[in-house]
Protein backbone atom coordinates (compact mmCIF):
# COMPACT_ATOMS: atom_id res chain seq x y z
CA UNK A 1 0.00 0.00 0.00
CA UNK A 2 1.29 3.45 -0.92
CA UNK A 3 2.47 5.64 1.91
CA UNK A 4 0.67 8.87 2.82
CA UNK A 5 2.51 11.99 3.92
CA UNK A 6 1.39 14.90 6.05
CA UNK A 7 1.53 18.24 4.21
CA UNK A 8 2.84 21.42 5.83
CA UNK A 9 2.84 24.93 4.37
CA UNK A 10 5.91 27.04 5.20
CA UNK A 11 5.64 30.83 5.51
CA UNK A 12 9.34 31.70 5.84
CA UNK A 13 10.59 30.52 2.42
CA UNK A 14 9.47 30.92 -1.20
CA UNK A 15 9.34 28.86 -4.39
CA UNK A 16 10.43 25.67 -2.66
CA UNK A 17 9.15 22.13 -2.08
CA UNK A 18 10.71 19.49 0.18
CA UNK A 19 9.84 15.80 0.03
CA UNK A 20 11.01 12.81 2.10
CA UNK A 21 14.16 11.06 0.93
CA UNK A 22 12.27 7.76 0.40
CA UNK A 23 9.91 9.49 -2.07
CA UNK A 24 12.64 10.92 -4.32
CA UNK A 25 12.64 9.29 -7.79
CA UNK A 26 15.69 8.59 -9.92
CA UNK A 27 14.81 11.40 -12.37
CA UNK A 28 15.15 15.08 -11.50
CA UNK A 29 11.92 16.76 -10.52
CA UNK A 30 11.22 20.25 -11.79
CA UNK A 31 7.43 20.55 -11.51
CA UNK A 32 4.79 20.00 -8.85
CA UNK A 33 1.14 19.25 -9.65
CA UNK A 34 -2.07 19.25 -7.64
CA UNK A 35 -5.15 18.17 -9.58
CA UNK A 36 -4.91 19.72 -13.08
CA UNK A 37 -2.62 22.55 -11.91
CA UNK A 38 1.15 22.24 -12.30
CA UNK A 39 3.97 24.76 -11.83
CA UNK A 40 7.76 24.76 -12.09
CA UNK A 41 9.62 24.97 -8.79
CA UNK A 42 12.60 23.64 -6.86
CA UNK A 43 12.02 20.23 -5.31
CA UNK A 44 14.59 19.00 -2.78
CA UNK A 45 14.99 16.32 -0.11
CA UNK A 46 13.78 17.27 3.36
CA UNK A 47 16.85 18.80 5.07
CA UNK A 48 16.03 17.34 8.50
CA UNK A 49 14.78 13.85 7.47
CA UNK A 50 11.14 14.76 8.12
CA UNK A 51 8.70 12.27 6.60
CA UNK A 52 6.35 14.90 5.20
CA UNK A 53 5.72 17.15 2.21
CA UNK A 54 6.65 20.80 2.80
CA UNK A 55 5.57 23.56 0.41
CA UNK A 56 6.28 27.27 0.58
CA UNK A 57 3.14 29.38 0.94
CA UNK A 58 3.46 30.91 -2.55
CA UNK A 59 3.59 27.44 -4.16
CA UNK A 60 0.52 26.26 -2.19
CA UNK A 61 -1.35 29.39 -3.28
CA UNK A 62 -0.43 28.95 -6.95
CA UNK A 63 -1.49 25.29 -6.81
CA UNK A 64 -4.75 26.29 -5.06
CA UNK A 65 -3.96 23.70 -2.38
CA UNK A 66 -6.25 24.13 0.66
CA UNK A 67 -4.45 23.79 4.00
CA UNK A 68 -6.68 21.04 5.42
CA UNK A 69 -4.02 18.98 7.23
CA UNK A 70 -4.93 15.92 5.16
CA UNK A 71 -2.17 13.35 4.50
CA UNK A 72 -1.68 12.89 0.75
CA UNK A 73 0.00 10.52 -1.67
CA UNK A 74 2.98 11.24 -3.93
CA UNK A 75 3.11 10.08 -7.56
CA UNK A 76 6.05 10.75 -9.90
CA UNK A 77 5.89 10.85 -13.67
CA UNK A 78 8.72 12.14 -15.82
CA UNK A 79 9.87 15.36 -14.12
CA UNK A 80 6.61 16.07 -12.31
CA UNK A 81 5.74 15.39 -8.67
CA UNK A 82 1.98 14.86 -8.23
CA UNK A 83 0.49 15.27 -4.76
CA UNK A 84 -3.06 14.21 -4.00
CA UNK A 85 -5.24 12.92 -5.32
CA UNK A 86 -7.82 15.67 -5.59
CA UNK A 87 -11.17 13.86 -5.95
CA UNK A 88 -14.24 15.62 -7.32
CA UNK A 89 -17.63 14.17 -6.35
CA UNK A 90 -20.14 15.26 -8.97
CA UNK A 91 -23.80 15.65 -8.02
CA UNK A 92 -26.85 17.92 -8.29
CA UNK A 93 -29.55 19.29 -5.97
CA UNK A 94 -27.58 22.11 -4.33
CA UNK A 95 -29.30 24.60 -2.02
CA UNK A 96 -28.40 28.15 -0.86
CA UNK A 97 -28.21 26.99 2.78
CA UNK A 98 -24.62 26.85 4.13
CA UNK A 99 -25.43 24.23 6.78
CA UNK A 100 -27.14 21.92 4.26
CA UNK A 101 -25.64 22.81 0.88
CA UNK A 102 -26.82 19.57 -0.77
CA UNK A 103 -30.20 19.45 0.96
CA UNK A 104 -31.15 16.27 2.79
CA UNK A 105 -28.17 14.46 1.24
CA UNK A 106 -25.71 16.81 3.00
CA UNK A 107 -25.25 14.32 5.86
CA UNK A 108 -24.40 11.49 3.44
CA UNK A 109 -21.79 13.65 1.70
CA UNK A 110 -20.38 14.90 5.02
CA UNK A 111 -19.87 11.27 6.11
CA UNK A 112 -18.36 10.35 2.73
CA UNK A 113 -15.88 13.24 2.82
CA UNK A 114 -14.97 12.57 6.44
CA UNK A 115 -12.93 9.49 5.46
CA UNK A 116 -10.33 11.69 3.71
CA UNK A 117 -7.61 11.20 6.34
CA UNK A 118 -8.08 7.43 6.38
CA UNK A 119 -7.78 7.34 2.59
CA UNK A 120 -5.11 9.99 1.96
CA UNK A 121 -7.11 12.01 -0.56
CA UNK A 122 -8.71 15.44 -0.76
CA UNK A 123 -12.36 14.99 -1.80
CA UNK A 124 -14.88 17.75 -2.51
CA UNK A 125 -18.44 17.98 -3.86
CA UNK A 126 -19.36 20.04 -6.90
CA UNK A 127 -22.02 20.53 -9.56
CA UNK A 128 -22.32 22.22 -12.92
CA UNK A 129 -22.63 25.74 -11.47
CA UNK A 130 -19.37 25.45 -9.50
CA UNK A 131 -17.16 25.09 -12.59
CA UNK A 132 -15.15 28.02 -13.97
CA UNK A 133 -14.18 26.72 -17.41
CA UNK A 134 -12.15 29.79 -18.37
CA UNK A 135 -9.88 29.56 -15.31
CA UNK A 136 -9.88 25.75 -15.10
CA UNK A 137 -11.05 26.03 -11.47
CA UNK A 138 -13.93 24.71 -9.36
CA UNK A 139 -15.56 26.23 -6.27
CA UNK A 140 -15.55 22.94 -4.39
CA UNK A 141 -17.50 22.15 -1.25
CA UNK A 142 -15.22 20.63 1.41
CA UNK A 143 -16.33 19.15 4.73
CA UNK A 144 -13.80 20.27 7.34
CA UNK A 145 -13.90 20.56 11.16
CA UNK A 146 -17.58 19.45 11.19
CA UNK A 147 -18.68 22.18 8.78
CA UNK A 148 -18.90 23.00 5.07
CA UNK A 149 -16.31 25.31 3.50
CA UNK A 150 -15.84 26.41 -0.10
CA UNK A 151 -12.36 26.46 -1.64
CA UNK A 152 -11.37 27.29 -5.18
CA UNK A 153 -9.39 24.31 -6.45
CA UNK A 154 -8.07 23.02 -9.82
CA UNK A 155 -9.95 20.41 -11.83
CA UNK A 156 -9.59 17.08 -9.97
CA UNK A 157 -7.50 13.99 -10.76
CA UNK A 158 -10.61 11.79 -10.81
CA UNK A 159 -14.38 12.26 -10.57
CA UNK A 160 -16.80 10.08 -8.60
CA UNK A 161 -20.33 10.24 -10.02
CA UNK A 162 -22.99 10.67 -7.33
CA UNK A 163 -25.86 12.10 -9.39
CA UNK A 164 -28.96 11.24 -7.33
CA UNK A 165 -31.33 9.84 -9.95
CA UNK A 166 -31.96 9.06 -13.61
CA UNK A 167 -33.77 12.36 -14.17
CA UNK A 168 -30.69 14.42 -13.23
CA UNK A 169 -28.46 12.07 -15.20
CA UNK A 170 -30.50 12.53 -18.39
CA UNK A 171 -30.14 16.34 -18.39
CA UNK A 172 -28.12 17.63 -21.33
CA UNK A 173 -25.98 19.91 -19.09
CA UNK A 174 -24.82 16.97 -16.96
CA UNK A 175 -24.01 14.87 -20.02
CA UNK A 176 -22.04 17.73 -21.60
CA UNK A 177 -20.00 18.31 -18.42
CA UNK A 178 -19.14 14.63 -18.17
CA UNK A 179 -18.19 14.43 -21.86
CA UNK A 180 -16.06 17.58 -21.70
CA UNK A 181 -14.16 16.67 -18.53
CA UNK A 182 -13.41 13.19 -19.83
CA UNK A 183 -12.50 14.01 -23.43
CA UNK A 184 -10.90 17.46 -23.15
CA UNK A 185 -9.26 17.12 -19.74
CA UNK A 186 -8.76 13.32 -19.65
CA UNK A 187 -10.20 13.02 -16.14
CA UNK A 188 -11.29 9.45 -15.25
CA UNK A 189 -14.97 9.37 -14.26
CA UNK A 190 -16.12 6.41 -12.20
CA UNK A 191 -19.54 4.95 -11.42
CA UNK A 192 -21.30 6.63 -14.33
CA UNK A 193 -24.88 5.80 -15.10
CA UNK A 194 -27.75 3.99 -13.47
CA UNK A 195 -28.13 0.38 -14.57
CA UNK A 196 -31.06 -0.65 -16.74
CA UNK A 197 -32.48 -3.99 -15.54
CA UNK A 198 -33.13 -5.48 -18.99
CA UNK A 199 -29.84 -4.23 -20.39
CA UNK A 200 -27.96 -5.91 -17.54
CA UNK A 201 -29.87 -9.16 -18.02
CA UNK A 202 -29.24 -9.18 -21.80
CA UNK A 203 -25.51 -8.60 -21.31
CA UNK A 204 -25.00 -11.12 -18.51
CA UNK A 205 -27.09 -13.96 -19.95
CA UNK A 206 -24.39 -14.54 -22.59
CA UNK A 207 -21.89 -15.56 -19.86
CA UNK A 208 -22.38 -19.23 -18.92
CA UNK A 209 -20.79 -18.82 -15.47
CA UNK A 210 -23.24 -15.99 -14.68
CA UNK A 211 -26.44 -17.15 -16.42
CA UNK A 212 -27.23 -19.58 -13.55
CA UNK A 213 -27.83 -16.57 -11.24
CA UNK A 214 -30.39 -14.93 -13.55
CA UNK A 215 -34.13 -15.52 -13.19
CA UNK A 216 -35.97 -15.76 -16.51
CA UNK A 217 -36.66 -12.15 -17.52
CA UNK A 218 -38.41 -10.58 -20.55
CA UNK A 219 -39.70 -7.20 -21.60
CA UNK A 220 -43.51 -7.21 -21.32
CA UNK A 221 -44.88 -8.46 -24.64
CA UNK A 222 -48.14 -10.31 -24.05
CA UNK A 223 -50.48 -11.82 -21.48
CA UNK A 224 -49.73 -15.29 -22.91
CA UNK A 225 -46.05 -14.92 -21.90
CA UNK A 226 -47.15 -14.18 -18.33
CA UNK A 227 -49.59 -17.14 -18.42
CA UNK A 228 -46.76 -19.46 -19.48
CA UNK A 229 -44.42 -18.19 -16.76
CA UNK A 230 -47.17 -18.44 -14.09
CA UNK A 231 -47.83 -22.01 -15.14
CA UNK A 232 -44.10 -22.78 -14.84
CA UNK A 233 -43.15 -20.82 -11.71
CA UNK A 234 -46.40 -20.19 -9.79
CA UNK A 235 -45.69 -16.45 -9.49
CA UNK A 236 -43.95 -13.68 -11.44
CA UNK A 237 -42.90 -10.08 -10.85
CA UNK A 238 -43.77 -7.19 -13.12
CA UNK A 239 -41.25 -4.37 -12.62
CA UNK A 240 -40.40 -1.02 -14.22
CA UNK A 241 -37.30 -1.46 -16.42
CA UNK A 242 -35.73 1.68 -14.95
CA UNK A 243 -37.25 1.47 -11.48
CA UNK A 244 -35.52 1.95 -8.14
CA UNK A 245 -36.31 1.77 -4.41
CA UNK A 246 -38.81 -1.03 -5.06
CA UNK A 247 -41.34 1.38 -6.57
CA UNK A 248 -43.88 0.02 -9.04
CA UNK A 249 -43.13 -3.69 -8.42
CA UNK A 250 -46.12 -6.05 -8.68
CA UNK A 251 -46.20 -9.74 -7.80
CA UNK A 252 -48.71 -11.83 -9.74
CA UNK A 253 -49.63 -15.24 -8.31
CA UNK A 254 -51.77 -18.03 -9.75
CA UNK A 255 -53.70 -20.45 -7.57
CA UNK A 256 -54.00 -23.57 -9.77
CA UNK A 257 -56.39 -25.35 -7.42
CA UNK A 258 -58.98 -22.54 -7.34
CA UNK A 259 -58.18 -20.85 -10.65
CA UNK A 260 -57.75 -17.37 -9.15
CA UNK A 261 -55.10 -14.75 -9.96
CA UNK A 262 -53.72 -12.50 -7.22
CA UNK A 263 -51.75 -9.27 -7.45
CA UNK A 264 -49.66 -7.97 -4.56
CA UNK A 265 -48.29 -4.40 -4.73
CA UNK A 266 -47.80 -1.17 -2.78
CA UNK A 267 -50.37 1.53 -3.50
CA UNK A 268 -49.64 5.24 -4.09
CA UNK A 269 -50.86 5.82 -0.53
CA UNK A 270 -48.18 3.47 0.82
CA UNK A 271 -50.46 0.51 1.64
CA UNK A 272 -49.52 -3.11 0.87
CA UNK A 273 -52.42 -4.52 -1.19
CA UNK A 274 -53.47 -7.99 -2.31
CA UNK A 275 -56.25 -8.15 -4.94
CA UNK A 276 -58.03 -11.24 -6.36
CA UNK A 277 -59.19 -11.72 -9.99
CA UNK A 278 -60.91 -14.42 -12.03
CA UNK A 279 -58.68 -13.86 -15.07
CA UNK A 280 -55.21 -12.56 -15.86
CA UNK A 281 -56.66 -10.16 -18.42
CA UNK A 282 -58.99 -8.68 -15.81
CA UNK A 283 -56.07 -8.27 -13.38
CA UNK A 284 -53.83 -6.59 -15.98
CA UNK A 285 -56.53 -4.26 -17.29
CA UNK A 286 -57.43 -3.12 -13.77
CA UNK A 287 -54.06 -2.94 -11.99
CA UNK A 288 -52.03 -1.66 -14.94
CA UNK A 289 -54.68 0.58 -16.53
CA UNK A 290 -52.61 3.77 -16.03
CA UNK A 291 -49.17 2.18 -16.54
CA UNK A 292 -47.11 1.97 -19.71
CA UNK A 293 -46.53 -1.78 -20.03
CA UNK A 294 -43.84 -1.27 -22.69
CA UNK A 295 -41.67 0.13 -19.87
CA UNK A 296 -42.13 -2.98 -17.72
CA UNK A 297 -40.40 -6.35 -17.54
CA UNK A 298 -41.67 -9.72 -16.38
CA UNK A 299 -39.44 -11.84 -14.14
CA UNK A 300 -39.62 -15.39 -12.85
CA UNK A 301 -40.73 -15.64 -9.23
CA UNK A 302 -38.34 -17.46 -6.89
CA UNK A 303 -39.39 -19.45 -3.82
CA UNK A 304 -37.08 -17.70 -1.37
CA UNK A 305 -35.85 -18.66 2.05
CA UNK A 306 -38.25 -17.37 4.69
CA UNK A 307 -38.14 -16.20 8.26
CA UNK A 308 -41.42 -16.23 10.22
CA UNK A 309 -43.17 -16.97 6.90
CA UNK A 310 -41.73 -13.80 5.32
CA UNK A 311 -39.39 -13.89 2.29
CA UNK A 312 -35.75 -12.84 2.77
CA UNK A 313 -33.34 -11.38 0.28
CA UNK A 314 -29.82 -10.03 0.78
CA UNK A 315 -28.02 -6.77 0.06
CA UNK A 316 -24.35 -7.26 -0.78
CA UNK A 317 -22.06 -4.28 -1.44
CA UNK A 318 -18.92 -4.78 -3.48
CA UNK A 319 -16.21 -2.15 -3.94
CA UNK A 320 -12.96 -1.89 -5.83
CA UNK A 321 -10.18 -1.29 -3.33
CA UNK A 322 -6.93 0.69 -3.50
CA UNK A 323 -5.37 -2.11 -5.58
CA UNK A 324 -8.23 -2.07 -8.08
CA UNK A 325 -9.57 -5.46 -6.89
CA UNK A 326 -13.22 -6.30 -6.18
CA UNK A 327 -14.01 -7.06 -2.52
CA UNK A 328 -17.23 -7.63 -0.58
CA UNK A 329 -17.66 -4.73 1.84
CA UNK A 330 -21.10 -5.35 3.35
CA UNK A 331 -23.67 -8.10 3.58
CA UNK A 332 -27.05 -7.96 5.29
CA UNK A 333 -30.45 -9.63 5.15
CA UNK A 334 -33.75 -7.89 4.39
CA UNK A 335 -36.92 -9.52 5.68
CA UNK A 336 -40.15 -8.51 3.90
CA UNK A 337 -42.87 -6.68 5.80
CA UNK A 338 -46.28 -8.28 6.34
CA UNK A 339 -48.03 -8.57 2.96
CA UNK A 340 -45.27 -6.66 1.18
CA UNK A 341 -44.19 -7.35 -2.39
CA UNK A 342 -40.58 -6.30 -1.62
CA UNK A 343 -38.18 -6.32 1.32
CA UNK A 344 -37.71 -2.52 1.22
CA UNK A 345 -37.80 -0.78 4.60
CA UNK A 346 -40.45 1.70 3.36
CA UNK A 347 -42.75 -1.26 2.72
CA UNK A 348 -42.32 -2.58 6.25
CA UNK A 349 -39.13 -4.57 5.58
CA UNK A 350 -36.62 -5.14 8.37
CA UNK A 351 -32.81 -5.11 8.09
CA UNK A 352 -31.13 -7.97 9.95
CA UNK A 353 -27.59 -9.24 10.28
CA UNK A 354 -26.73 -12.66 8.90
CA UNK A 355 -26.41 -13.94 12.47
CA UNK A 356 -29.99 -12.84 13.22
CA UNK A 357 -31.34 -14.71 10.18
CA UNK A 358 -29.29 -17.90 10.51
CA UNK A 359 -29.34 -19.41 14.02
CA UNK A 360 -26.57 -21.88 13.13
CA UNK A 361 -23.06 -20.51 12.54
CA UNK A 362 -22.45 -23.19 9.90
CA UNK A 363 -25.58 -22.13 7.95
CA UNK A 364 -24.59 -18.49 8.27
CA UNK A 365 -21.08 -19.05 6.92
CA UNK A 366 -22.34 -21.19 4.05
CA UNK A 367 -24.85 -18.50 3.03
CA UNK A 368 -22.23 -15.73 3.31
CA UNK A 369 -19.76 -17.72 1.18
CA UNK A 370 -22.34 -18.43 -1.54
CA UNK A 371 -23.57 -14.82 -1.66
CA UNK A 372 -20.05 -13.31 -1.54
CA UNK A 373 -18.72 -15.59 -4.28
CA UNK A 374 -21.70 -14.80 -6.50
CA UNK A 375 -21.38 -11.05 -5.87
CA UNK A 376 -17.69 -11.06 -6.83
CA UNK A 377 -18.34 -13.07 -10.02
CA UNK A 378 -21.19 -10.70 -10.92
CA UNK A 379 -19.06 -7.61 -10.21
CA UNK A 380 -16.33 -8.79 -12.59
CA UNK A 381 -18.89 -9.74 -15.25
CA UNK A 382 -20.60 -6.34 -15.04
CA UNK A 383 -17.26 -4.56 -15.22
CA UNK A 384 -16.41 -6.47 -18.42
CA UNK A 385 -19.83 -5.98 -20.01
CA UNK A 386 -20.77 -2.39 -19.09
CA UNK A 387 -19.34 0.89 -20.38
CA UNK A 388 -17.39 3.20 -18.10
CA UNK A 389 -15.35 2.62 -14.95
CA UNK A 390 -17.31 0.87 -12.18
CA UNK A 391 -16.05 1.19 -8.60
CA UNK A 392 -18.95 -0.06 -6.48
CA UNK A 393 -22.14 -2.10 -6.87
CA UNK A 394 -25.03 -2.93 -4.56
CA UNK A 395 -26.60 -6.33 -5.31
CA UNK A 396 -29.98 -7.64 -4.24
CA UNK A 397 -29.53 -11.40 -4.22
CA UNK A 398 -31.84 -14.19 -3.13
CA UNK A 399 -31.32 -17.72 -1.86
CA UNK A 400 -34.01 -20.23 -2.80
CA UNK A 401 -35.01 -23.19 -0.63
CA UNK A 402 -32.46 -25.40 -2.40
CA UNK A 403 -29.65 -22.93 -1.60
CA UNK A 404 -29.27 -21.53 -5.15
CA UNK A 405 -28.28 -17.85 -5.53
CA UNK A 406 -30.40 -15.51 -7.69
CA UNK A 407 -29.73 -11.96 -8.88
CA UNK A 408 -32.70 -9.60 -8.61
CA UNK A 409 -31.03 -6.24 -8.89
CA UNK A 410 -27.65 -4.58 -9.43
CA UNK A 411 -27.35 -0.94 -8.40
CA UNK A 412 -24.52 1.33 -9.56
CA UNK A 413 -25.42 3.84 -6.84
CA UNK A 414 -26.58 1.58 -4.01
CA UNK A 415 -28.82 2.88 -1.25
CA UNK A 416 -27.55 2.83 2.30
CA UNK A 417 -30.61 1.86 4.35
CA UNK A 418 -28.94 -1.35 5.63
CA UNK A 419 -26.39 0.76 7.56
CA UNK A 420 -29.08 2.04 9.92
CA UNK A 421 -28.71 -1.30 11.70
CA UNK A 422 -26.43 -0.69 14.73
CA UNK A 423 -24.31 -3.80 14.02
CA UNK A 424 -23.57 -2.73 10.42
CA UNK A 425 -21.84 0.58 11.23
CA UNK A 426 -18.35 -0.79 10.47
CA UNK A 427 -19.56 -1.80 6.99
CA UNK A 428 -20.91 1.72 6.52
CA UNK A 429 -17.41 3.13 7.13
CA UNK A 430 -15.72 0.48 4.97
CA UNK A 431 -17.95 1.11 1.94
CA UNK A 432 -17.36 4.87 2.19
CA UNK A 433 -13.62 4.42 2.65
CA UNK A 434 -13.20 2.08 -0.31
CA UNK A 435 -15.32 4.20 -2.64
CA UNK A 436 -12.61 6.88 -2.20
CA UNK A 437 -9.64 4.46 -1.90
CA UNK A 438 -10.47 3.40 -5.45
CA UNK A 439 -10.05 7.05 -6.47
CA UNK A 440 -6.42 6.89 -5.26
CA UNK A 441 -5.81 3.77 -7.38
CA UNK A 442 -7.50 5.35 -10.40
CA UNK A 443 -5.58 8.64 -10.06
CA UNK A 444 -2.28 6.76 -9.92
CA UNK A 445 -3.18 4.69 -13.02
CA UNK A 446 -4.24 7.84 -14.94
CA UNK A 447 -0.90 9.50 -14.12
CA UNK A 448 1.44 6.53 -14.63
CA UNK A 449 -0.40 4.33 -17.15
CA UNK A 450 -3.08 6.46 -18.85
CA UNK A 451 -3.43 3.95 -21.70
CA UNK A 452 -4.92 1.44 -19.18
CA UNK A 453 -7.57 3.94 -18.06
CA UNK A 454 -8.50 5.56 -21.35
CA UNK A 455 -8.62 2.57 -23.66
Nearest of 51, 52, 32 to residue 42 by alpha carbon = 32
Summarize pLDDT for 319-366 with one digit per residue, the tens.
999 999 999 999 999 998 776 777 767 667 899 999 999 989 999 999
- Would you state the pLDDT for residue 347? 65
Higher per-residue confidence, 336 vs 179: 179
pTM: 0.91
Q: How far apart are CA 415 and CA 108, in angstroms?
A: 11
The enclosing H or E element of 199 equals helix 197-204
- Would you state the pLDDT for residue 455? 65
CB 172 within 8 Å of CB 187: no
Nearest of 86, 112, 116, 114 to residue 188 by alpha carbon = 86
Kindly indicate the confidence band of residue 59, based on its pLDDT and cuts at 50, 70 and 90. very high
What is the average pLDDT score of the chain?
Answer: 92
**What does the DSSP assignment read for 375-436?**
HHHHHHHHHHHSSSB--EEEEEEEEBTT--EEEEEEESS---GGGGSGGGHHHHHHHHHHHH
Q: How far apart are CA 121 and CA 101, in angstroms?
A: 21
Of all residues in the chain, the percent with pLDDT exceeding 90 is: 72
Q: How far is CA 360 from CA 345, 363, 402, 418, in A?
A: 25, 5, 17, 22
Own/partner contacts of 254-261, CB < 8 Å, gap of 24 or more, are 254/230, 254/280, 261/230
- Would you state the pLDDT for residue 93? 95
pLDDT above 90 for 289: no
CB 321 within 8 Å of CB 431: no
Kindly indicate the confidence band of residue 49, based on its pLDDT and cuts at 50, 70 and 90. confident
Strand-pair partners of 371: none
CB 409 within 8 Å of CB 314: no
Amino acid sequence: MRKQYQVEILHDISHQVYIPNEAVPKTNLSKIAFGSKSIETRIDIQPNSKEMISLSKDIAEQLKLPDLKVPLHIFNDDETLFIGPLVGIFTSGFTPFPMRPIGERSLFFAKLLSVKKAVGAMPFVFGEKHINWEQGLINGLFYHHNGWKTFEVPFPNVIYDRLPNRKSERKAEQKNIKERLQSEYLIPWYNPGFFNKLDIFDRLIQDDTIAKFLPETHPFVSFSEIERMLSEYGHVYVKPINGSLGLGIHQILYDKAKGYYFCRFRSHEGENKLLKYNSLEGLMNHVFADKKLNRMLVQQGIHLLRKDQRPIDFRIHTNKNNFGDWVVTAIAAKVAGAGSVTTHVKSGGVIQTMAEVFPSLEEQRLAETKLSNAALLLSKALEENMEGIIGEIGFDLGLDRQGNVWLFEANSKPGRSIFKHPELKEFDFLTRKLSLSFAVFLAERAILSPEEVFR
